[in-house]
Amino acid sequence: MTAPLRLGTRRSALALAQSQMVADAVAAASGREVELVPIVSEGDVNRASLSQLGGRGVFANGLREALAAGRCDFLVHSLKDLPTAQPEGLVIAATPPREDARDVVVTRDGTPLHALEAGARVGTGSPRRIAQALRHNPRLDIHDIRGNVDSRLARVRDGELDAVILAAAGISRLGGELGGLRAEALGLAEWPTAPGQGSLAVETRADIGADTLAALATLDDEATRAAITAERTVLSVLDAGCHAPVGTHASIADGDLRLRAVVYALDGAHRIGIDRTVRVEPVRAEPVRAEPVRADPGYARETGSGNGADAADDGGLIARAARIGREAARRLLERGAADLVPRESTT
């Protein structure tokens, strides 16, 4: 009898839910049973704020150690928590189709973020979200919080906080139930999110069996991989941690890759941003609705011709996406982004 494949996952309700989704898909593709192997990560036991933990892979390192040691066969990560440097001997075998990449503000009565009164208590542990929230409403009282989705929602429901900011994809993967609370979706044009937000990464060992690797590869979505490659390349070139105040979002539609990247001061007072639209080969667009990009002070706006280096056939769509991300990061650095971003050498 063939042994089941072992999927390493964090123990949180969200991690287990999204891992089970992947497990079911891999089981269908491979014809083998897939069992979940819960693993404790540093981020699950270290209660320091994300701004203190920085980009050290605290949600990934323990899982990767278990994978390298052979205690599991593959992993499922929330891509936004994954450092950009790929460990030797491990590979990202698949990036399934992306879900909603937006953030949402959850309140008791549906008051929009910009209309919350002075001193309203808003909870988030993300330096990027803190900077964006203060930029949209500098009167807010930001509370640096940790915890799972349910515990954060409970703090709003119980009146301890007036609002929390969460990832739309996480709420969706947990069934979308808010227990009577109200959610305001924040448009990506004005509120770009963490590189890779809404995406999952399926990681395995480079020497895993060919049949297993082929089964994992069936989950891969090229448009999603291209978009998150552009986003994460920006973060890598900026040498910023995966919880730095950097917002990026890329999408592909009608043969164009559009990338928006913004670097924020920690207090939200300043930002430097860039938009790039570059022609790439037509592929299926990611399943997230397109939003208009509005003119915005502090942004550079550029359009690639599609006939130059950006569109050259030098390795395909993913290589092109990486180059677009590198160029966007280079121009952000030229405009002073290094003065705003805490540098990390371990992303």
Higher per-residue confidence, 2 vs 1: 2
Residue 343 has a pLDDT of: 61
* Cα gap 208→196, rounded to integer Å: 25
Looking at residues 247-271, what average pLDDT do you find? Answer: 95
Domains 5-96+199-220 and 103-186 are alike in CATH topology: yes
Phi, psi angle pair for 328, to nearest 5°: -65, -45
**What's the rounded Cα separation, in Å, for the pair 267 and 122?**
14
Q: CATH assignment of 223-339?
A: 3.30.160.40
Token digits of residue 57: 């892979």
- CATH superfamily placement of domain 5-96+199-220: Periplasmic binding protein-like II (3.40.190.10)
SS3 track for 140-168: CEEECCCCCHHHHHHHHHCCCCCEEEEEH
What value does the mean pLDDT of the chain take? 86
Residue 117 has pLDDT above 80, yes or no: yes
| Residue pLDDT, tens place only, 285-302 | 444 443 333 333 343 445
User: Global pTM?
Assistant: 0.85
3-class SS at 111? coil
Domain boundaries, the chain: 5-96+199-220, 103-186, 223-339
The residue with tokens 């938009």 is: 275
Alpha helices in the chain (DSSP H): 13-30, 42-45, 50-53, 61-68, 127-136, 149-157, 168-173, 210-217, 222-238, 317-334
Q: Is the pLDDT of residue 311 over 60?
A: no
Q: Is the pLDDT of residue 10 over 70?
A: yes
pLDDT mean over 103-111: 97
51-55, 98-102, 239-243: lowest mean pLDDT where?
Answer: 51-55
Q: In the structure, what pLDDT confidence band is assigned to residue 186 with cuts at 50, 70 and 90?
A: very high
Tell me what the mean pLDDT of segment 259-282 comes to: 91
103-186 homologous superfamily: Periplasmic binding protein-like II (3.40.190.10)
Annotated catalytic residue within 81, 162, 221, 239 = 81
The span from the CA of 267 to the CA of 259, in Å, is: 24
What are 293's two structure tokens?
């990009």
Binning pLDDT at 50, 70 and 90, where does residue 53 land? very low
DSSP lists the bridge partners of residue 84 as none
Percent over 70 (pLDDT), the chain: 82
Q: Indicate if the pLDDT at residue 219 is higher than 90.
A: yes
Residue 177: exposure state from Cβ atoms within 10 A (0-12, 13-18, ≥19): exposed
Q: Predicted confidence band at 303 (pLDDT cuts at 50, 70, 90)?
A: low
- Give the per-residue pLDDT at 344: 56
Q: Flag the least confident range among 2-16, 69-83, 113-127, 240-254.
A: 240-254
Instruction: Identify whether 267 is a catalytic site residue.
Output: no
Q: Which helix (H) or strand (E) holds 33?
A: none
Burial class (CB in 10 A: 0-12, 13-18, 19+), 80: buried
Q: Give the pLDDT mean for 178-185.
A: 95
Reduce the DSSP state of residue 248 to 3 states and report it: strand
pLDDT confidence tier of residue 177, bands split at 50, 70 and 90: confident
